Amino acid sequence: MIIIYALIAIVKVFLVISTIGLIAGIIWLWIKSLPFRPKLTPSETLNYLKVIKVSEGKYKQVVKQKEIAAKKWQKLMEKIKFGDERDYKLAIIEADIIIDEILKSHGHPGKDMGERLKSLNQYELEHLNDLWEVHKIRNRLAHEADFHIPIDEMKKIIGVYRDILEELLARPLEIETELKNFLEAEKEKEKEKESKEKFNG
């Protein structure tokens, strides 16, 4: 649990620094482009504003969801501290929900967790195969009344969910990559314009 909260703290700091840097970069590019743009069209202006607004919104949404997940996980651990088979069964079902909520906040498509897992690959989530296995067990626990597994096995399953949660909390936010790509594209546009200006001059 200490590791999870430490990861959240790191994400928060990185979030603030990255957001400020990326927004400053967008504004800098916009100012630099003014000499080459007698007047920005409404669509161009809207595009710049939209990128800034979306980046802030996505950062806040994902970070908030990670904080909620960490708190839910702490409560889950308290419930099973002296729990029986029923408590562990409910904990596995709840752990699966926590992971799925993070996947949704990261923008993975699908009407249920199974579909969202299909949208992932091993590069995006190292423990993907493990997640598939525990998710299948979760489904059996949730839908088959006569399905039982030893508490020791349940503890291992909870441990797998914990490892997956820690990996997801440490995962870089996708919007960071989107904004970097946007900035790089804008820089290339500026270079092309400067080259044309020099050539025409």
User: What pLDDT digit, counting tens, does each position of 25-57 carry?
Assistant: 666 665 555 454 444 455 555 555 555 555 556
Neighbouring CB atoms inside 10 A of 152's CB total 8
Which element (helix H / strand E) includes 196? Answer: helix 174-200
Residues 6+ away with beta carbon under 8 Å from 48: 26, 30
Measured CA to CA, the distance from residue 115 to residue 187 in angstroms comes to 37
Query: 179 and 104, same structural domain?
Result: no
Cα four-point dihedral sign 178, 121, 98, 103 = positive
Q: Residue 132 falls within a domain, yes or no?
A: yes
Query: 91 and 9, same structural domain?
Result: no
Q: Residue 73 falls within a domain, yes or no?
A: no
Give how many domains the chain has, as a whole number.
2
pTM above 0.75, yes or no: no
**DSSP conformation letters of 95-123:** HHHHHHHHHHHTT---SSHHHHHHT--TT
Residues 6+ away with beta carbon under 8 Å from 37: 44
Measured CA to CA, the distance from residue 68 to residue 75 in angstroms comes to 11
99-136 pLDDT, tens digit each: 999 888 878 888 999 999 998 888 888 889 999 999 99
Q: What is the DSSP letter of 19?
A: H
Task: Look up the domain containing 158 and give its range.
Answer: 80-170
Mean of all residue pLDDT scores within the chain: 76
Q: Are 21 and 27 spatial neighbours (Cβ–Cβ below 8 Å)?
A: no
Query: 183 and 152, same structural domain?
Result: no
Q: Is the pLDDT of residue 7 over 70?
A: no
Query: 159 and 85, same structural domain?
Result: yes
Query: 95 and 42, same structural domain?
Result: no
- In this prediction, residue 180 carries a pLDDT of 57
Q: Residue 113 falls within a domain, yes or no?
A: yes
106: which 2 tokens? 């990261």
